[in-house]
Amino acid sequence: MSQYVPQAGGLRDRAEAGTLVGPPRLRHPSARCRPRRVAMLSVHTSPLHQPGIGDAGGMNVYVVELARRLAAAGVEVEIFTRATSASLPPVVDLAPGVLVRHVDAGPYEGSAKEDLPAHLCAFTHGLMRTWADRRPGHYDLLHSHYWLSGHVGRLAAERWGVPLVHTMHTMAKVKNASLAAGDRPEPAARVAGEAQIVADADRLIASTGTEAAELIRHYDADAARVTVVHPGVNLDRFRPDASGVEAGRTAARARLGLPPDALVPLFTGRIQPLKAPDVLLLAVARLLQERPRLRERLVVPVVGGPSGSGLAEPEGLQKLAARLGISDVVLFRPPVEQAQLVDWYRAASVLVMPSYSESFGLVALEAQACGTPVIAAEVGGLPVAVRNEVSGVLVPGHHPADYARALGRFADDPVLSIRLGEAAARHARSFGWETAASATVDVYTRAMAQRQYSRPLF
């Protein structure tokens, strides 16, 4: 298993296990093992969708930012996604060197993610039609994201004769092992599908060492084909105000109409049981029971829309706030563009992420890059994204009382938010997308080289 750890000055190869297959003394990879053009698959959610709505979230940000940085490094990227509207153009220029291709597969609207496996054959057919118009070798490699894309990628990579690199983003067995109350388990078909992808992919990219270990433990992945590449954060967009963390917080609150001296614990993201926004509300209710005078200076923004199993009761969180008697301190806001999201991050005293499962937690990195500390569940990749007691606070488990205690620390010591926020900005600076893209290109290159070695000599 290979692991790339972001550093301020670039990337460092921590552990390189596994060797290329084949007799290097008889056959060497060509000089063109570095990819020129990559086909990316993001079947169930488009990189053009607004994160925080429906199924759009951290994976959308991941695909967009990685594609942009790959193109900037000289690797052209074509992203294939399912068309969700008849009015969408077949091809959209996302950025120089990055195209988004819409593939007709199933109904344009009204299809839940759970319905999409039935449309994978149609998506594969549309992908193959595009490929048929290309000259041989047009795509050097296929990179699929999430298990639905991986299923299509397995077939396409075999047909095209190119390596398949796959990123899980989330895994059914991991999610099922830590379900929130009332959440639906992932189906057995997904578990079986993920096992097939792990077996067939030339390389697997994991966001953290924990995710890599889960791939090996739960899916019997070959450790030599698993590489850890930490995702990044757009440091050009997400950064502290030029005037500093404290002054930037005051300015952002003025723009958003928030009290300058308030305690502002922020939740942003998709509203669904997996992300556990209810834990934050329960913690706030408990905190106000213990400190009723805090109500005068407490504002709890919830920025995001219902998603996944949360769509079954889209107003469930508002009803919970009303039952808890805290509707007066909770602000529900729809998802916003990244430019406005920066203001919410800067305005917050702390970002709260009580998630039951996170492969990495890009939201935590974005907030820290803006100079805002994070209270997060000690799950998945969050212990990598957040440095405990340096850039934020990690909480074992999901008991509201533990989150209430963590919030109480910020209520008691207003300077804590500024001190941890400044350290958070420094911590986030080591997670640039350029580093992640460079490491990903290295994974591509190794996959292509290994594919050359494994071909028959005659």
Return binding residues: 44, 50-51, 55-60, 113, 146, 170, 190, 270, 275, 336, 345-346, 348, 358, 366, 372
CA distance 105 to 109: 11
Common-topology check for domains 9-232+433-454 and 245-428:
yes
Token pair 């993001």 is found at: 42
pLDDT by residue, tens only, the chain of 458 residues: 766 554 433 333 333 333 333 333 333 344 467 899 999 999 988 888 766 555 666 788 899 999 999 999 999 999 999 988 888 899 999 999 999 999 998 787 766 667 788 889 999 999 998 888 888 789 999 999 999 999 999 999 999 999 999 999 999 999 998 888 778 899 999 999 999 999 999 999 999 999 999 999 999 999 999 999 999 999 999 999 999 999 999 999 999 999 999 999 999 998 989 999 999 999 999 999 999 999 999 999 999 988 665 555 668 899 999 999 999 999 999 989 888 999 999 999 999 999 999 989 999 999 999 999 999 999 999 999 999 999 999 999 999 999 999 999 999 998 999 999 999 999 999 999 999 999 999 999 999 998 876 654 43
* 101, 81 contact by CB (below 8 A): yes
Residues 6+ apart with CB under 8 A from 217: none
Longest dimension (CA), the chain: 80
Instruction: Summarize the annotated binding site for UDP-N-acetyl-alpha-D-glucosamine as residue ranges.
Output: 50-51, 58, 270, 275, 336, 358, 366
* Cβ within 8 Å of residue 327, ≥6 positions away: 318, 321
pLDDT value, residue 130: 85
Q: Which residues are annotated as a binding site for Mg(2+)?
A: 345-346, 348, 372
User: How high is the pLDDT of residue 53?
Assistant: 58
pLDDT of residue 188: 93
All structural domains of the chain with their residue ranges: 9-232+433-454, 245-428
Closest CA to 385 of 347, 415, 358: 358
pLDDT given for residue 457 in this prediction: 43
Q: What does the pLDDT read at residue 9?
A: 37
Separation CA 61–CA 368 (nearest Å): 16
Q: In angstroms, rounded to a whole number, what is the distance separating the alpha carbons of residues 331 and 323? A: 15
Annotation: CATH topology of 245-428: Rossmann fold (3.40.50)
Query: What is the number of residues in the chain?
Result: 458
Query: What is the value of pTM for the model shown?
Result: 0.86
What's the half-sphere exposure (Cβ side, CA atoms, 13 Å) at 13? 9
Q: Copy the structure tokens of residue 339.
A: 């430019």
Alpha helices in 220-324 (DSSP H): 245-256, 277-290, 316-324
Return the CATH number of 9-232+433-454, one of 1.10.3720.10, 3.30.450.90, 3.40.50.2000, 3.40.630.30.
Answer: 3.40.50.2000
| E strand segments, 359-450 | 374-377, 392-395
Distance CA 274, CA 441 (A): 32
| Residues annotated in a binding site for 1D-myo-inositol 3-phosphate | 44, 55-60, 113, 146, 170, 190
- What Rg value do the Cα atoms of the chain yield, rounded? 22
> To which H or E segment does residue 201 belong?
none
pLDDT score at 442: 96
